[in-house]
Chain A
Amino acid sequence: MTERMISCSAAICEALTEEMARDEAIFIIGEDLVAHGGIFGQFRGLPERFPGRLIDSPISEACIVGAGLGAALTGMRPLVDMHFADFVTCAMDEIVNQTAKIRYMFGGQVKVPLVIWAPDGAGLSAAAHHSQSLESWFVHAPGLKVVVPSEPADVKGLLKAAIRDDDPVIFFQHKKLFAREGPVPEGEHIVPLGKAAVKRLGGNVTILTYGSGFYMSMEAANELAGMGIEAEVIDLRTLKPLDFGTIADSIKKTNRAVVVHEACLSGGFGAEVSARINSELFDYLDAPVLRVAAKDVPMPFSPRLENFVLPKAEDVIKAVRAVTYR
């Protein structure tokens, strides 16, 4: 398989083009899909290539997700586009009470092959209603798989895996990373759900991250190397199911861990990871697990305020230096 440099947006398109050509049961429903190929151009070319299979919806989030669920229960494999991840709030019943619970509640009678695709994240001065990172809410709702890719190759591979999975997957993608390029294999490239990736080897500390936190962590790791601290960077990619094996293998080697995410601190996914490390790897730890996250406020609009609230590479460096006592 050859690799080329393509963007996260192009990776979405490629994954969907390949999957929709392979399986006629796949369709996409959401707001403003056809005219511009999605509001971020993330589905560009698909409406022409697959006429009738991208369905523009009225502004009715509850019924958009509900339609995806109902169709998934009756033989289709929908991908629903949340427009902005922030609008999951308008469809919480359909996501949390219905989609997440339906298979279990009905004793495993049905499968729910549904992907809820949600562009999230801050950094664009889009303010409090268009900037959130809400993944931890869904980790807390048993019945959903939660995916948050960073690099384009993972976007492609995980999206294909999510579409093929017979369970509901909520798939968050950072808006600011759409244009980010990276090497992506052509054709069949699947990244299995529930598998983390060690993206940088290092023996002094383990940085556990995902989504936009990945780039922040790599930037920090490169600077830390200059200080003689080698960080192992693990891109979790799937938060649920969590690949704790990969996390444990690394921490047994480094004895220190820092969790990095853009979502705000309290109740964030870092708390869950940290708790598991404490209960399962306590004997291996030489320092408390630290978390790097956004401050606990809604995202403010003004660039200076937003920049202050968001975590940065320098915060990762500070945390790593603290756990390595350097």
Chain B
Amino acid sequence: MKSSVSTREMRRLYRTMVTIRGFETLAGELFAAGKIPGFIHLSIGQEASAAGVCSALRQDDYIATTHRGHGHVIAKGGDLKKMIAELMGRKTGYCKGKGGSMHIADFSLGILGANGVVGGGFPIIIGAGLSIKLRRTDQVAVCFFGDGASNRGTFHEAMNMASIWKLPILFVCENNCYASTTPTTYACSVNNIATRAAGYNIPGVTVDGNDLLAVREAAGKAVDRARRGEGPTLLENKTYRRRGHFEGDPQKYRTQAEVAEWEKNDPLLRFASVLKKKKLLTGEMEKEIREQVDCELKEAVAFAEQSEWPNPEEALEDMFINP
């Protein structure tokens, strides 16, 4: 038993995953109903990575996330109301409607931002890591990214820099088997992206990304190492993107059978059954958690729907501090 995680925390972790799943499902529905403009990328099936990694962090630790970042924001403590309001383009959203799904941030929670540019987070996380070092705190900075992003030059530059300066960084690759239409097996030179760490002389760890406790364990170790000043780690969570790349993706690049196969490997069901075996979760408790989460999400939607749209002129605000 991975004893570093308390009973209470186990339940909280389960609840985090239920919240992410609920949020993503709801976002998909709102998008289909025409209530979310633009395009959205959902992380259904990848919840264990977000929940497991963020549970190893403190509130003052940093994360940089991606276009598929709702789960990371939730797991780091993001406010569901402000998230939904942002997705719906309202004034009360995290970014006052300026960002949308691909650009959510909460700097008060150390969330340095989602990113519309694949691989855009790597250089930023280097800066966060360097700043931690210069300020002599024991914070840690985490960069979430996809298998596809590991082919950007920024990934390789960042891995090297983090290594030579022993920065307190955890690189978390969510290998979900695809980058848009392109299979990871086609676009990546290695089977396990974590093996790329060897080229930069840092530890590389591959785990079953749908096993919450495995993710938590590996992330915990890497975070502790970084806090001790021993440098960065590359963690690869093997998982699967169950929805289209974006909502509305025709998905001609894979079969429904493949998706169905992965549905059986559901991170929520797996963790629920672990908890039940340990007698930490009953059917009754499960139902209660779901109801609570549903209620929170309903409140968030109501909040967003009752929120004002931004005034057009507000488009000109927030450019400079000293215009």
Interface residues of A, Cβ cutoff 8 Å to B: 31-32, 34-36, 39, 56-63, 86-87, 89-90, 124-130, 295-297, 300-309
Residues of B within 8 A of A59 (CB): 118-119, 148-149, 151-152, 179, 187
The contact string, 1 if C-beta is below 8 Å from chain A, for chain B 266-310, is 000000000000000000000000000000000000000000011
Residues of B within 8 A of A296 (CB): 319
Asked if B152 contacts A60 (CB within 8 A), the reply is yes
Residues of A within 8 A of B90 (CB): 302
Q: A87-B117, A295-B315 are known contacts; what are 11 more A-B pairs with Cβ within 8 Å?
A: A36-B181, A36-B253, A58-B179, A61-B152, A124-B38, A128-B103, A129-B117, A301-B100, A302-B309, A308-B313, A309-B315
Q: Which residue of B lies closest to A130 (CB)?
A: B116
- Please measure, in the bound complex, the distance between the C-alpha atom of A307 and the C-alpha atom of B151, giving whole angstroms: 35
Residues of A within 8 A of B250 (CB): 36
Asked if A125 contacts B38 (CB within 8 A), the reply is yes
Chain B positions 75-107 with a Cβ under 8 Å from a chain A Cβ: 89-90, 95, 97-100, 102-103
Q: Which residue of B lies closest to A296 (CB)?
A: B319
Question: Within 8 Å of chain A (Cβ to Cβ): is B252?
Answer: yes
Q: How far is the CB of A89 from chain B (nearest CB, A)?
A: 8
Question: Within 8 Å of chain A (Cβ to Cβ): is B25?
Answer: no
Asked if A302 contacts B181 (CB within 8 A), the reply is no
Q: Jot down 12 A-B pairs with beta carbons below 8 A, ordered by A.
A: A32-B181, A36-B252, A59-B151, A60-B153, A61-B152, A62-B153, A127-B99, A129-B102, A129-B120, A300-B315, A302-B98, A303-B37
Interface residues of B, Cβ cutoff 8 Å to A: 37-39, 89-90, 95, 97-100, 102-103, 115-120, 148-149, 151-153, 179-182, 186-188, 250, 252-253, 309-316, 319
Residues of B within 8 A of A36 (CB): 181, 250, 252-253
Contact of A127 among B38, B119, B151, B182 (CB under 8 A): B38
- Please measure, in the bound complex, the distance between the C-alpha atom of A31 and the C-alpha atom of B188, giving whole angstroms: 13
- Please measure, in the bound complex, the distance between the C-alpha atom of A49 and the C-alpha atom of B312, giving whole angstroms: 47
Most buried by B among A32, A126, A301: A301
Q: How far is the CB of B181 from chain A (nearest CB, A)?
A: 4
- Please measure, in the bound complex, the distance between the C-alpha atom of A297 and the C-alpha atom of B320, giving whole angstroms: 10
Q: Which residue of A lies closest to B95 (CB)?
A: A301
Asked if A305 contacts B315 (CB within 8 A), the reply is yes
Most buried by B among A31, A34, A61, A87: A31
The 8 residue pairs across chains A and B that have the minimum distance between CB atoms: A129-B116, A302-B97, A301-B100, A302-B89, A308-B312, A125-B37, A58-B151, A125-B38
- Please measure, in the bound complex, the distance between the C-alpha atom of A87 and the C-alpha atom of B315, giving whole angstroms: 23
Asked if B98 contacts A305 (CB within 8 A), the reply is yes
Residues of A within 8 A of B310 (CB): 302, 304-305
Q: Which residue of A lies closest to B186 (CB)?
A: A56
Residues of B within 8 A of A308 (CB): 312-313, 315
Q: How far is the CB of B253 from chain A (nearest CB, A)?
A: 4
Asked if B148 contacts A58 (CB within 8 A), the reply is yes
Residues of A within 8 A of B312 (CB): 304-305, 307-308
Residues of A within 8 A of B119 (CB): 59, 90
Q: How far is the CB of A35 from chain B (nearest CB, A)?
A: 4
Residues of B within 8 A of A304 (CB): 89, 97, 309-312
- Please measure, in the bound complex, the distance between the C-alpha atom of A24 and the C-alpha atom of B281, giving whole angstroms: 64
Residues of A within 8 A of B153 (CB): 60, 62-63
- Please measure, in the bound complex, the distance between the C-alpha atom of A301 and the C-alpha atom of B88, giving whole angstroms: 10
Residues of B within 8 A of A63 (CB): 153
- Please measure, in the bound complex, the distance between the C-alpha atom of A86 and the C-alpha atom of B314, giving whole angstroms: 24
Q: How far is the CB of A136 from chain B (nearest CB, A)?
A: 19
Q: How far is the CB of B188 from chain A (nearest CB, A)?
A: 7
Residues of A within 8 A of B117 (CB): 86-87, 89-90, 129
- Please measure, in the bound complex, the distance between the C-alpha atom of A304 and the C-alpha atom of B89, giving whole angstroms: 9
- Please measure, in the bound complex, the distance between the C-alpha atom of A306 and the C-alpha atom of B103, giving whole angstroms: 15
Contact of B151 among A60, A129, A297, A301 (CB under 8 A): A60
- Please measure, in the bound complex, the distance between the C-alpha atom of A160 and the C-alpha atom of B116, giving whole angstroms: 32
- Please measure, in the bound complex, the distance between the C-alpha atom of A195 and the C-alpha atom of B321, giving whole angstroms: 44
Contact of B38 among A32, A39, A126 (CB under 8 A): A126
- Please measure, in the bound complex, the distance between the C-alpha atom of A39 and the C-alpha atom of B152, giving whole angstroms: 19
- Please measure, in the bound complex, the distance between the C-alpha atom of A309 and the C-alpha atom of B313, giving whole angstroms: 9
Asked if A56 contacts B39 (CB within 8 A), the reply is no
Known: A58-B182, A302-B310. A295 touches B316 (CB 8 A): yes
Asked if A301 contacts B182 (CB within 8 A), the reply is no
Known: A127-B99, A302-B89. A58 touches B188 (CB 8 A): yes
Residues of B within 8 A of A295 (CB): 315-316
Asked if A126 contacts B39 (CB within 8 A), the reply is yes
- Please measure, in the bound complex, the distance between the C-alpha atom of A127 and the C-alpha atom of B250, giving whole angstroms: 22
Residues of A within 8 A of B98 (CB): 127-128, 300-302, 305
Residues of B within 8 A of A60 (CB): 151-153
